[in-house]
Amino acid sequence: MGAMNRASFFSPQAGRVIDAPLRTRARFAIGDIVRHRHHDFRGVVFDIDPVFANSEEWYQSIPAEVRPEREQPYYHLLAESGDSSYVAYVSQQNLTADAEGGPVEHPSLSELFDDYSNGRYPLRRGLAH
């Protein structure tokens, strides 16, 4: 792919500039509720990276046999599992839609989103780009 089809952005998590395709196809949008395909947690999308943009240590900590490709969207989630709430970073290939599961219980949801409505969380006014 030529340089014309790529762009760069700074990733605070990686601490470096990330090279990415100009166009990627994100399957999910900010406010969507998703579930991890292999681990028992679900969450609300609050940010999307066009390609992997976390630290190399984080990436290498994933066992090689299940390590996802870098060149796909990665989602930042306000996640819940059992009685625990946290932020997760997950590749698109490992997520599936989960709106039918109902609302997500995460203490930070109200900082970013309005109340659960029609299977998703609308971004609070004034926070949209």
Structure tokens belonging to residue 65: 């046999």
pLDDT above 90 coverage of the chain, percent: 66
**Is the pLDDT higher at 9 or at 49?**
49
Domain 26-112 class?
A: mainly beta
Cβ atoms of 58 and 76 within 8 Å: the answer is no
How far apart (Å, rounded) are the C-alpha atoms in residues 26 and 59? 20
Where do the domains of the chain lie? Answer: 26-112
For residue 15, pLDDT beyond 80: no
Task: Specify the higher pLDDT residue, 31 or 11.
Answer: 31
CA 40, chain centre distance (Å): 16
Cα–Cα distance for residue pair 86/111, rounded to 1 Å: 14
Mean pLDDT across the stretch 23-31?
A: 86
pLDDT, residue 2, reads 45
Q: What is the pLDDT of residues 67-111, one digit of tens each?
A: 999 989 999 999 999 889 999 999 999 999 998 889 999 999 999
pTM over 0.85: no
Measured CA to CA, the distance from residue 56 to residue 7 in angstroms comes to 20
